[in-house]
A and B are shown apart, each in its own frame.
Chain A
Amino acid sequence: TQLLEQSPQFLSIQEGENLTVYCNSSSVFSSLQWYRQEPGEGPVLLVTVVTGGEVKKLKRLTFQFGDARKDSSLHITAAQPGDTGLYLCAENSGGSNYKLTFGKGTLLTVNP
């Protein structure tokens, strides 16, 4: 089972600031997904990255997949209180059941 390291574990910032969270592994990802989870709810898929060097944008969120497909980052520009939540990266094992292995998550708090 692949071990996914996420950093930072906790992040508290003011509204309007930029931030980056990271997801790393010692092994190559087949594909990587980023999720956002609000308290008391299930995680919601933000993006899937598959190709090394890939960059995807979702409004103020920019996702990068490392060239070697062993790391990924999520950058948020001009954070808003509505961005508060637990950000999780997950690797799809690609086996017959497509199991997901989650990182430990980054708990983001954006203060007004």
Chain B
Amino acid sequence: GAVVSQHPSRVICKSGTSVKIECRSLDFQATTMFWYRQFPKQSLMLMATSNEGSKATYEQGVEKDKFLINHASLTLSTLTVTSAHPEDSSFYICSARSRLAGGREQFFGPGTRLTVL
């Protein structure tokens, strides 16, 4: 099956620093990658959609200058949380959509737990 990895799985940083999270599709090429944020005991909230080689499309209320997304290749997307603050502490999950077979299904990564002190 299609596998999506995220790195790091956990990160703790000081307020004001920037943190980069990587999302990789390991055995398929991803037409589109999605970034979600999830707070404890809540559902996934879509932050942005990115297509390889294009600028990301951000959902309403998500600051594009704070959450920088780079989709440099068909297997890698990165999310950089700039000048992180404690309220940015959350579980960040990426997903990837395959180019093959209609590409309707999203495959999810294991998530990255960000804690900002």
Residues of A within 8 A of B (CB): 31, 40-45, 48, 86, 88, 92, 97-105, 107
Contact = CB atoms under 8 A, between A and B. Distances in A.
Contact of A99 (B43, B49, B91, B103): B49
Contacts of B46: 99-102
Contacts, number: 53
Task: Place the interface of chain B in its size category.
Answer: 20 to 34
A99 B111 contact: no
Nearest to A107: B41
Contacts of A86: 41, 43
A99 B6 CA distance: 20
Contacts of A31: 104
5 contacts: A40-B91, A42-B4, A43-B44, A98-B103, A98-B106
Nearest to B50: A97
